[in-house]
Structure 1
Amino acid sequence: MPSPVETPKVVDGSALTVEKSIPVAVHPEHETPGGFLFLTSIDQVAHIVVSTVYCFERSNDNAVDVIKQALSKVLVHYYPLAGRLAKSSEGKLIVDCQKKLGVPFVEAVADCDLDSLGDMSILHPDVLGKLVYKDPTTQNMPETAPLLTAQVTKLKNGGLILGIALNHCMSDGISAIKFINSWSEIARGKPLSVVPCHDRTILKPRMPHQICGPYDDFVQISDVSNMTTLYEKEQNVCRSFHFDSEKLAAVKKMATACGQVKRSITSFVALTALVWRARSMALKMKPHQQTMLTIPVDFRSKLSPPISDGFFGNAVVFPCCLCNTGELFDEPISSTAERIAEAIERVNEDYARSRIDYLDKYGFEEFALGTLLISSWTKLDYGISDFGWGEPRQFGTGSLPAKSCLFMRGWRNKKDVVVVLSLPFSAMNTFQELLPV
């Protein structure tokens, strides 16, 4: 099997100069509902800000005004994004839609063109900070911080980058892309193809709670391999690895060639099995070290009746595989793929509602270093985010937490997959060597 080609490293932002305007608040064009928006127990644990960029090769002279005016119009439909977080009488996060402080909007100009920025799938923190406006209140005063910010950066040769920072408690990736695509439809003068639904009470916990378990996802893993010291001693580096269709087919063949394969194995499952095993080896996990793989799975279609297409919120759960690394290293990769496929298949309505009940009762504890969360963005439909001058040439985000891995589309060929993860320096070099050649 040919080796996966490492994609170009993220560009250092030291040479990038961006001049920004003072943020102005964009409000919904028309009066919108007040009151408070219920946030589910899944929303409660997703209280982090996610930054993304949409990179356009060309734009119009009035592109900034078009995007800004369309934002005001789309906020009529997505009005909770113009509000702020608050606490309910039970101490839970809710959205105060009466506090209509709007969305901070920044205009900017950069001294480069899109080509000079290279691969934008994973951005260096300095670059991300220059292309995405993050409100200073976000870190210390999250309940007064905006739920959404927007920055439009004009580039040389007509290019343009739209950078947004969105609080994850408002939406998962599927809902976020639908919002962006609705925004772009309005910019083109089109009606919304999907009208958002803001009623999240369909995902309220059941009373009394009906928790079916046990849940391996909530097992707390001890660090018996001294990984904490490795992360403290060495620089954490982020790298990306490119798998084209030929390499993906080879990985899939490897994951189905040995062992008893009981179900269909997708390229995602095969690649996930490969990455989980290689990362565990690279971190030198001891045989008796527990290791956990967890994957976000959309459950919209699993409920009866299914959640409406316009649902705006978080509708994912995180099934997991838990085992000792000795088992993981000894078993054929086909057996690892079987574990993963079986975990994904466990997600049904009972599983999702039980998970909602569990989170409401017990809350969420941060994953240990022995855990790997693999999230795939390869099917997010950002390619139709056309504001009037064509689809984005690239789509990207910032560097990843230590326990996360991201699968993204190739920036030249959308059928390719780019695997992005962070590891201590020595572990990253080992991880790269462990990828099949």
Structure 2
Amino acid sequence: MAASAKNSVLKIERSIPIVVLPEHETPEGSVFLTSLDQVAPAIVPTIYSFDRSDTSVVDVIKQALARVLVPYYPVAGRLAKNSLGKLVVDCQKKLGVPFVEAMADCDIENLGDKRLLDSDVLDKLVYRDPVEHILEVAPLLTAQVTKFRCGGFTLGIALNHCMADGVSAMNFMNAWAEIARGKPLSLVPCHDRTILKSRVPPQITGPYNEFVHISDVSNMTALYVEQLVYKSFHFDAEKLVTVKRMATKDEQVTSNCSSFVALAALVWRARSMALKMKLHQQLKLLLLVDFRSRLRAPLPNGYFGNAVAMPCCLCTMGELIEEPMSASAGRIKKAIKSVTDDYIRSRIDYLDMNRLEGLPVATLVISSWARLEYGNTDFGWGKPRFGIGGLPSSSCMFMSEGREKGIAVMLGLPLSAMDTFEKLICDLNDTQYTNIGIQT
């Protein structure tokens, strides 16, 4: 085995999947899904890596799964369509969670950077059910425990985004881990998603820039024929101070901002330049904002579902690069501030009648998992390292590297664009953000 799984093929042996059902009887009927839940019924793979285990690890995790599926019973169901053609979770059809045990032929350290996994490695560590494309029978969750020669193991899961956003997924995983450690649930899930039901009649205040059609006038589609390269970039405390100083240099625009806002401004500008967009190219920045505490009546702590808004910054490439970075940060702050109770309720109504159809290449979606407690998912063998893979080409993710260690920025770009992006992002200098590689 070579030093890294990135330049060699990870070999594993998988068991035949077994189906894990809730340990006790659970409610039947169906669970309502909001228009936010129905936006992206995509499968999200994630990896939890642990450096040690023992002979009981598979049985403990499997038994805890059966138990956690009692309070989180919708996860054992399947999607269905109601009489209006809307998705619901059929809880009477309890087909359970496919569970796989696997053995790897290497040490866990051979995986390399576990935060952002190579697609080949991810495919080996996360079980993807062969019927996942068939709506009515596809599992909403799969689980795979892979043991390594060194004694470490990974837990790979594939969760349907209809079921949970990042916060809800972390709550589920931490509940699963609590049960594995013999602890009572610290957070009881709330499955009443009608709290976020659309209104009748709808009360839409819009407009919503994320739905504005933009054309690829820069022919970036041709650029994306190149090999996609995924990388992570580390911003320690010192670099974050520099980025925030760049984002607040012109205090007439914005006098202060968070690390998220400053980094988002930097990444948006650098990525747009790296893709060599024309000056009249329209571009969008979508920001995933958790609105649980932004409603007039906040959601219950254990709300299990999607509670994320997606405010949008819309401008041309010319506008973006001709304004100071502080102005870009100002756009982002304004977009985040717009996520109010009225905005959320109106957007839910709008989504109930309109679909968000794909994302053009001039769109960047930034989400931050920096505050999520994925490091608490301790099944009894210590806290894990958390990893993802299969990021869409339009997505960028921020992940915490610990209170003192800063933030990791992860994204994918065509090879030539990644080279330019890396130069821009690693050499923090205000003066370089002027007409670099811009087409007229």
- TM-score, with normalisation over the residues of structure 2? 0.94
Whether 1:361 aligns to 2:369 is: no
Q: What is the aligned partner in structure 2 of residue 65 from structure 1?
A: 59
**8 Å CA contact retained: 2:254, 2:326:** no
Q: Which moved more, 1:174-183 or 1:121-130?
A: 121-130
- Aligned partner letter, 1:165: A
Cα deviation digits, residues 288-323 of structure 1 (max 9, x gap): 111110111011111222100000000001001111
Aligned-residue CA RMSD (Å)? 1.5
Whether 1:40 aligns to 2:39 is: no
Cα deviation digits, residues 139-161 of structure 1 (max 9, x gap): 3x132100000001111222110
**8 Å CA contact retained: 1:81, 1:148:** yes
The residue correspondences of 1:329-408 to structure 2 (distance < 5 A) are: 329-392=321-384, 394-408=385-399
**8 Å CA contact retained: 2:147, 2:154:** yes
**8 Å CA contact retained: 1:197, 1:312:** yes
Whether 1:146 aligns to 2:139 is: yes
- Aligned partner letter, 1:160: F
The residue correspondences of 1:3-402 to structure 2 (distance < 5 A) are: 11-12=5-6, 14-139=8-133, 141-232=134-225, 234-262=226-254, 264-392=256-384, 394-402=385-393
**2-structure distance, mates of 1:284, 1:247:** 25
Which of 386, 405, 408 is matched with 1:418 structurally? 408
- 1:222, CA displacement in angstroms? 0.9
**2-structure distance, mates of 1:215, 1:259:** 28
- 1:345, CA displacement in angstroms? 0.7
What is the aligned-residue identity percentage? 63
**8 Å CA contact retained: 1:40, 1:203:** yes
SS at match of 2:121: helix
| Bigger share in helix | 1
- 1:27, CA displacement in angstroms? 0.4
**8 Å CA contact retained: 1:43, 1:170:** yes
- 1:215, CA displacement in angstroms? 1.3
- 1:414, CA displacement in angstroms? 6.5
Cα deviation digits, residues 50-101 of structure 1 (max 9, x gap): 0000001111220110000000000000001111110110011111000011
SS at match of 2:36: helix
Number of matched pairs: 425
**8 Å CA contact retained: 2:248, 2:256:** no
- Aligned partner letter, 1:266: S
SS at match of 1:179: helix
SS at match of 2:392: coil
Q: Which moved more, 1:188-197 or 1:359-368?
A: 359-368
**2-structure distance, mates of 1:15, 1:425:** 22
- 1:196, CA displacement in angstroms? 0.3
**2-structure distance, mates of 1:239, 1:119:** 10
Q: What is the aligned partner in structure 1 of residue 432 from structure 2?
A: none
SS at match of 1:301: coil
- 1:263, CA displacement in angstroms? 5.3
The answer for unaligned runs of 5 or more in structure 2 is: 429-440
Could you list the structure 1 runs, at least 4 aligned residues long, displaced by more than 6 angstroms after superposition.
Answer: none
- TM-score, with normalisation over the residues of structure 1? 0.95
Cα deviation digits, residues 253-311 of structure 1 (max 9, x gap): 11112241445301111011000001111111111111110111011111222100000
Q: What is the aligned partner in structure 2 of residue 4 from structure 1?
A: none
Q: What is the aligned partner in structure 2 of residue 409 from structure 1?
A: 400
**2-structure distance, mates of 1:89, 1:319:** 31
Q: Which moved more, 1:95-104 or 1:12-21?
A: 12-21
**1-structure distance, mates of 2:49, 2:25:** 32
**1-structure distance, mates of 2:70, 2:63:** 12
- 1:25, CA displacement in angstroms? 0.3
- Aligned partner letter, 2:289: V
Distance 1:259 1:289, change over 3 A: farther
Cα deviation digits, residues 344-393 of structure 1 (max 9, x gap): 0110111111110111011222121111001111111011111111111x
SS at match of 1:25: strand
**2-structure distance, mates of 1:55, 1:213:** 43
- Aligned partner letter, 1:214: P
Cα deviation digits, residues 218-256 of structure 1 (max 9, x gap): 111111111112113x22221221111111111111111
The answer for unaligned runs of 5 or more in structure 1 is: 1-8
- Aligned partner letter, 2:42: I
**1-structure distance, mates of 2:228, 2:147:** 32
**2-structure distance, mates of 1:407, 1:388:** 27
**1-structure distance, mates of 2:115, 2:151:** 20
Which of 375, 400, 417 is matched with 1:427 structurally? 417
**2-structure distance, mates of 1:51, 1:110:** 19
**2-structure distance, mates of 1:307, 1:41:** 16
**2-structure distance, mates of 1:160, 1:261:** 49
- 1:14, CA displacement in angstroms? 3.9
- 1:11, CA displacement in angstroms? 3.8
**1-structure distance, mates of 2:153, 2:236:** 28
**8 Å CA contact retained: 2:80, 2:135:** no
SS at match of 1:161: strand
SS at match of 2:231: strand
